[in-house]
């Protein structure tokens, strides 16, 4: 497995490089099909971001892509947080695949069940990238104002290929999120899987009420 270490706005010292290589050796045990690991060490020059001026992004490439990142005032702490999150994602995925041969984890289907609130994180903290991804349409990422308020939210549009619930759970574990939006291949409905306690998951399907199109046509 190849390990590529690059610095952005900074030089990566030899001691950190050795630490990265040593830690990434554990990736092969959990992801034997991984062919490459990219580690980006980023130094933020903005003085207002002193508390999280060092960011480490780790991407494992193989049959799929697993990614984790974290920020902190110290780059060693940022790397420790990012690598811990990455290894936890790989362990969950590895265990899920192992349990798949022993039985399917419980899955609860609901019409409207609130997603679990994300846990508050303390520095160093993990963060998801909000930058446009490779191959994204020009308008895929945009700022959307909320009427009558100074709040602006970040909106993204993804092209989605229908997948099964099981595949959606795998993708959720790969990216390390608590939920994952997808198009259900069986029902064709917009859906979301989410992590519950233990090895159980939930899935939410969205459907229009019967006659919704007819009512919309009458009022148009």
Range of the domain at 50: 1-103
Helices then strands, each counted (H, E), the chain:
4, 11
Structure-model confidence comparison of residues 104 and 182, the more confident one: 182
Q: Are residues 162 and 218 in the same domain?
A: yes
Q: 66: domain CATH number?
A: 3.30.160.100
Measured CA to CA, the distance from residue 127 to residue 171 in angstroms comes to 18
Q: Are residues 90 and 173 in the same domain?
A: no
The residue behind tokens 């419980």 is 106
Counting the structural domains of the chain, the total is 2
Could you report how far apart the first and last alpha carbons of the chain are, in Å?
A: 59
Measured CA to CA, the distance from residue 201 to residue 215 in angstroms comes to 35
Checking if the pLDDT of 219 tops 60, the result is no
Checking if the pLDDT of 17 tops 50, the result is yes
Mean pLDDT value of segment 131-157: 59
Is there a domain that residue 203 lies in? yes
Q: 203: domain CATH number?
A: 3.30.505.50
Checking if the pLDDT of 214 tops 60, the result is no
Is there a domain that residue 119 lies in? no
Residue 98's pLDDT is what?
61
**Residue 49 DSSP label:** G
Is there a domain that residue 117 lies in? no
For 95-143, the DSSP string reads HHHHHHTT-PPPEEEESS-PPPPPPP--SSEE----SPPTT--TTSEEE
Q: Are residues 67 and 165 in the same domain?
A: no
Question: pLDDT tens digits for 79-131?
Answer: 999 999 888 888 877 776 665 545 544 444 443 344 344 444 444 443 333 34
**Residue 83 DSSP label:** H
Q: Pick the last residue of a domain from 85, 103, 121.
A: 103
Q: Which of 14-18, 43-47, 90-94 has the lowest mean pLDDT?
A: 90-94
Q: Are residues 86 and 163 in the same domain?
A: no
pLDDT more than 90, % of the chain: 25
**Angle at CA of residue 212, ends 211 and 213, nearest 5°:** 90
Measured CA to CA, the distance from residue 79 to residue 72 in angstroms comes to 9
Q: Are residues 84 and 156 in the same domain?
A: no
Whole-model pTM over 0.85: no
Tell me if 124 sits within 8 A of 56, measured CB to CB.
no
């Amino acid at each position: 497995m190849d390990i590529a270490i690059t610095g952005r706005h900074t030089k990566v010292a030899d001691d950190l490089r050795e630490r990265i290589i040593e830690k990434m050796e554990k990736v092969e045990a959990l992801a034997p099909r991984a062919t490459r690991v990219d580690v980006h060490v980023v130094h933020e020059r903005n003085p207002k971001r002193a508390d999280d001026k060092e960011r480490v992004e780790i991407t494992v490439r193989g049959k799929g892509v697993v990614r984790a990142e974290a920020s902190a005032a110290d780059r060693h702490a940022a790397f420790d947080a990012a690598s811990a999150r990455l290894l936890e994602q790989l362990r969950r995925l590895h265990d899920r695949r192992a349990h798949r041969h022993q039985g399917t984890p419980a899955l609860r289907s609901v019409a409207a069940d609130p997603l679990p609130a994300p846990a508050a994180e303390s520095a160093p903290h993990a963060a998801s990238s909000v930058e446009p991804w490779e191959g994204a349409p020009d308008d895929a990422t945009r700022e959307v104002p909320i009427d009558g308020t100074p709040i602006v939210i970040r909106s993204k549009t993804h092209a989605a290929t229908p997948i099964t619930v099981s595949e959606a759970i795998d993708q959720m574990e790969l990216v390390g999120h608590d939920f994952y939006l997808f198009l259900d291949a069986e029902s064709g409905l917009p859906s979301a899987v989410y992590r519950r306690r233990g090895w159980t998951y939930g899935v939410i399907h969205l459907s229009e009420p019967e006659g919704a199109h007819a009512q919309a046509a009458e009022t148009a």
